Chains A and B, each alone.
Chain A
Amino acid sequence: MGFDRETRLRHLLVLIEEKKSPFAISRLILMTGVNLRGKVDLSNAGVQKKLEDALRELLPANELMEFEATVEAILKGAR
């Protein structure tokens, strides 16, 4: 069974906080209004779109691709 958008996003956010800094997460919250430090429903399609759009805006394309590839590798290992 494949992994859904929510799981990928969740892993991506953890990775960004670890590899970049908690500052990157605060920037993401500021730009989206999605409170990632509080209660947030990452299964909501609107929230997912906001975060994905903001990530493309905030991270250089190559950096985002690297993070996404790492998430895919993690999820592949978990299968």
Chain B
Amino acid sequence: MIMKTKCGLGLSRSVETSSAVEEAIAMAKQTLDGDAPAFAFFTSTVEHDAEEVVKAARRVLPGVALHGITTSLGVLGAHGVLMGSNGAIGVLLASASEASSSSFRVAHTRVDDDAREAGRVLGEKLLVANAGRRPDLVLFHASPGQEESLLEGLAAVLPNVPTFGGSAADHAIAGEWSVFTDEGALKSAASAVGVYGGHVGGSIVAPYVPTSAKAVIGKSEGRRILELDGRRASDVVHAWVGSSIDTQAKEGGNILAQTSRHPLGLRHASDEGEYFVTLHPAHIDASSGAVDLFAQAPEGSEVYKMEPSALGLLDSLERLIERALSNAYLKADDVGGGVLIYCAGCAGAVGDALDEALRRHLNAKLPGVPILGLCTFGEQGWVQGVGNVHANLAMSLALFE
């Protein structure tokens, strides 16, 4: 008899990395009823040495495919935000039993200059891993920097396969992030879990709406906007965000906190309606007037000043869960497990209130379901009519039966 996939969630705030990994795995195994795990999805904050996390995982779960990334701020879930004085570790295990509704395959690739090719290789590996069968959904996690090209390459091999995930993160935006793979903890890589069979689906929500203020990107280089409507990009962003970034507009600096309430939005129009991909202005370079983002800003595109939606950064979690359930054609009782992605910038902005909001919404809408949550530096998800997108200041949720 086919049943929903047994999943287990394990968490630890133990100071010592090896003990934390052991503790988290032991906790996650409790709900697997002795089944072997098909894969282990790890996340940890960067207080823990990433290589140590992989070594400990290998020792405790020999032969089990590893997947995951480091998280910023803490480990999220129905428990709220887990963070200890030396960080936190979380793991999601999914049963490999043939009685499970869904089966899983894991693949990873290093990412060098040609990220599109790396994405293509990742897709090929997922196909090969399951005898040429296309996954019904992909959990996708990569180092931040080239997610758009990775998704493009992945889509070339796996067109129209909904892909949900988030980018590896640290606390200080200092490049301390890692991607957890069978090869070890990698600085520049992408890892994916192909989910095959059962009801699967997800949702990506950016809790913002466009205002009437907009500008054309006159000059940009990848993730850096230099000119908006013929003016220095920092002058336009300063005017939109207001006096809270007076100092940074003059001297340069980090504007993450202030712009989390007023990001930019790139409009995508489709038969399904319009969708705004949110871009998070992270830093101003005072000498050039450039504004750095966590996503690409193509020249000639129109960007809108966004403002928080009525539901805002916390209660949008409810909409996210409802949409993911609806897109997966699942009732809460039938969900085996899932992965929640919440933008680190949003989490930093809402602070302690996130703890309560996670407990309230996850326990109300997905009671008892093992959900591993991460704070990321970029979020990816499937938008009907648009395809797989890479966005900032967004949240995504992938669910499987």
Contacts and interface: CB of A to CB of B under 8 A. Distances in A.
A35 B46 CA distance: 11
Interface in B78-107: 81, 83-85, 87
B72 A26 contact: yes
Nearest to B46: A37
Interface string A23-67: 110110111111101100000000000000110011000000000
A58 B260 CA distance: 13
Majority SS at the chain A contact face: helix
B308 interface: no
Nearest to A40: B172
B256 interface: yes
Contact of A26 (B171, B256, B258, B352): B171
A54 B172 CA distance: 13
Interface string A9-23: 000000001001111
B367 interface: no
Given A31-B254, A54-B257, A23 B174 contact: no
A23 B83 contact: yes
B171 to A, nearest CB: 4
B111 interface: no
A30 B169 CA distance: 10
A17 B257 CA distance: 20
A16 to B, nearest CB: 12
B393 to A, nearest CB: 13
B84 A22 contact: yes
B171 A37 contact: yes
Contact of B172 (A20, A33, A58): A33
B73 interface: yes
A56 to B, nearest CB: 11
A26 to B, nearest CB: 5
Contacts of B352: 20-21, 23-24
A58 B46 CA distance: 22
B73 A33 contact: no
A57 B259 CA distance: 13
A72 B90 CA distance: 38
Contacts of A58: 257, 351
A22 B257 contact: no
A9 B328 CA distance: 49
Interface string B236-258: 00000000000100000010111
B380 interface: no
B47 A33 contact: no
B250 to A, nearest CB: 14
Interface of A: 17, 20-24, 26-27, 29-35, 37-38, 53-54, 57-58
22 contacts: A17-B85, A21-B81, A22-B74, A23-B351, A23-B355, A24-B351, A26-B45, A26-B171, A27-B73, A29-B171, A31-B257, A32-B254, A33-B174, A33-B254, A34-B172, A35-B172, A37-B46, A37-B47, A38-B172, A53-B247, A57-B257, A57-B258
